[in-house]
Chains A and B, each alone.
Chain A
Amino acid sequence: MTYSFQFRDVFAAWEFLLDGLVLTLELSVIAMMSGLIIGLAGSAARVYGPPWLKGIVAVYVETIRNTPLIVQLFLIFFGLPSAGVKFDANTAAMIALSINLGAYSIEIIRAGLQAIPRSQIEAGQSLGLSGLQVFRYVIIVPALRLMFPALASQFVLLMLATSVVSQISAQDLFHMASIIQSRTFRDFEVYILVAGAYLVLALLFRLIFAGIYHFVFARR
């Protein structure tokens, strides 16, 4: 059987796709920023905090890392309302993605923190740096430089994983693709096009991260 590709109906709905693309970018960037913040705070707590705090962070990290994102999304979006907490789909998506990425970031940054030799911290202290200065110049920046590649690829994976939020009807790129698919029945065309869009986004994010690495970390 032959099949002729027809992209016209799909391209005609470009405004839908653009809306979806914007939300996908929004979700990704917000999740990346909050994931980084959670990661920094959490990993510091995990390495330098009191035992009870270490325990809480460890439970959070292991729980999130050992359950699927889609189940976390369902719990927040479908589950929490029965406990009296209600979010709209986009907010639920944002929360779930941040919580998810936060757990991975903690684990990655923690590895970086633990890779800083004790003697380097002592060297900083012996130079008369204050606790905060040691933390900033001797611990955090070198640790981030060390873990940046791992963090960046986790961020790119998260950007791709945002497609899962379409399943709770958050209006991201993938959700828009489903809408166009159900209107035009051009399944193949829509999903190929959207896959291409994600590929471009992934390359773009990799470029941006490489640029950040180059300008922030590599020059020192």
Chain B
Amino acid sequence: MIRELSFNDLLYLIAAMRWTLALTGIAFLGGSLVGLSVALLRVAPFAPARWLGTFYVHAVQGTPLLAWLFVFFFGLSIVGVTVSPWVAAAAAYSIYAGAFLGEIWRGCLQAIPKTQWEAGASLGLSFMEQLRYIIAPQGFRLAIPPTVGFLVQLIKNTSLAAVIGFIELTREGQLTTATTFRPFTVYLIVAALYFALCFPLTQLSSRLERRLHVAR
């Protein structure tokens, strides 16, 4: 049934943003855990650990996110596990975000001068203690702007979850289009809503970046 595009549709689209945000939150949480491990692996003083981290990053950054979503959504159901779009999306996005956050954070850890590590070592701190008390606090400041920047990528990429039937902003847009047949208006609204989410974060990220440069 085709009906007119109404104000209510706009409200529904705005309401669907909460699922976009929820998925972004889950992905960021899962991605942080994976990313932290990857970053640690990549700076570990043990070569095979570094290889493992590198392999993970290359494998994930070299395959499309869409493939991960499909593997988890369609793939896991064949081994007898029924996967809801939520679980599939959470798993796929954690893996995806983990690789990118891991690389960002590794860069931040490695940006800290080697002498800082050595200073820690000469105080008798172990590798983990050096990381915990000396490197991580300094790296954290560096990490904030690019992490906020990646959050924008993540918000935009949650739109891909629409293809496995995860109802968020883009999927809601598809559904609204199907009933009203006004694709141009609907997708314009959807794009505007994404813009409203992402643009402030983009600005924040570049402002933080500038402020950090001044502080150094």
Contact = CB atoms under 8 A, between A and B. Distances in A.
B156 A69 contact: yes
A119 interface: no
Contacts of B59: 199
B147 interface: no
Contact of A163 (B66, B77, B162, B173): B66
Interface in B152-202: 152, 156-157, 159-160, 162-163, 170, 173-174, 177, 182-184, 186-188, 190-191, 194-195, 198-199, 202
Interface residues of B, number: 42
A75 B191 contact: yes
Contact of B159 (A68, A79, A81): A68
Interface string A186-220: 01100110110011001100000000000000000
B80 interface: yes
Given A70-B159, A71-B159, A202 B80 contact: no
A70 B79 contact: no
Contacts of B186: 79
Contacts of B62: 156, 160, 198-199, 202-203
Interface stretch (B27-35, B67-75, B114-122): B67-75
A117 B139 CA distance: 28
Contact of B71 (A3, A80, A192): A192
B163 A78 contact: no
A161 B62 CA distance: 11
B61 interface: yes
A71 B170 contact: yes
Nearest to B198: A66
Contact of B157 (A65, A68, A81, A177): A68
Interface residues of A, number: 40
B75 A67 contact: no
A167 to B, nearest CB: 6
Nearest to A198: B63
Contacts of A174: 64, 66-67
A31 to B, nearest CB: 15
B152 to A, nearest CB: 7
Contacts of A164: 64, 66, 160
A70 to B, nearest CB: 5
Interface in A169-197: 174, 177, 181, 187-188, 191-192, 194-195
B214 interface: no
Nearest to A185: B78
B33 to A, nearest CB: 22
B106 to A, nearest CB: 15
B187 A78 contact: yes
Contacts of B190: 71, 74
A69 B78 CA distance: 30
B194 A66 contact: yes
Interface in A58-104: 62-63, 65-72, 74-75, 78-83
A82 B68 CA distance: 33
Contact of A199 (B63, B78, B191, B198): B63
Contacts of A156: 61-62
- Of A70, A181, A192, the most chain B CB neighbours within 10 A belong to A70
A127 interface: no
Given A67-B194, A163-B67, A174-B66, 20 more contacts: A3-B80, A63-B191, A66-B152, A66-B199, A68-B170, A70-B159, A70-B160, A70-B162, A71-B194, A74-B174, A78-B183, A79-B186, A79-B188, A161-B64, A163-B64, A187-B74, A188-B71, A192-B71, A195-B71, A198-B64
5 closest pairs, A vs B, by CB? A202-B62, A187-B74, A79-B184, A1-B80, A68-B159
28 contacts: A66-B156, A66-B202, A67-B194, A68-B156, A68-B160, A68-B170, A69-B156, A70-B162, A71-B159, A72-B191, A75-B184, A78-B183, A79-B184, A79-B186, A79-B188, A81-B183, A82-B183, A83-B184, A156-B62, A160-B65, A161-B64, A164-B160, A174-B66, A191-B70, A191-B75, A195-B63, A195-B68, A198-B62
